[in-house]
Amino acid sequence: MTTNYGWVFSVAMLLAGTVLMGFDNAFARLSGYVLVVGMVVMTYLRLRASEDEVLRAANAAAMTVGAPVGLGLAFVSLFVARFVPAVSDYINALTVHSSEALGAGAAGFGIGILFTCFTVVASAVIVWVGWWMAMRA
């Protein structure tokens, strides 16, 4: 018998998002809304995937191919941000303007985490859509 800890993760993310929505910082509130909406969508998709074998296969392809590609893109973008002055200046400008209650270092760290999450999810969605297009053709 296997234990599925995905539900624990979903509940933890919903709680974290709810806590973040109570902060006065706009960045924290936006992060909270993104967490709550994302976890509601993921829970809905998980419930649908539990009854559909083809959807489970599409999700597996997206997670095994798309997510590592997105993580690799985020890693490459780290070097781009480090060695391309225009990108570094843009990130510095973002951190200065977005750090109401946080320091610039913490805001930059948060932007990096959000960018990494975005690239992982975006690449997984692209692979997921591509999988469905390939299977329908």
Q: In the chain, which residue ranges form alpha helices assigned H by DSSP?
A: 6-21, 26-49, 53-61, 67-83, 85-98, 104-136
Task: Supply the pLDDT for residue 2.
Answer: 45
Q: pLDDT digit string (tens) for 20-75? A: 677 676 777 777 777 777 777 777 766 776 667 887 788 888 888 888 898 899 89
Q: pLDDT digit string (tens) for 96-127? A: 766 566 677 777 777 787 788 788 888 888 98
What distance in Å separates the CA atoms of residue 12 and residue 15, rounded to the nearest whole number? 5
Residue 13: pLDDT over 80 = no
Q: Is the pTM of this model over 0.85?
A: no
Q: Which residues contact 37 (CB under 8 A, 6 or more apart)?
A: none
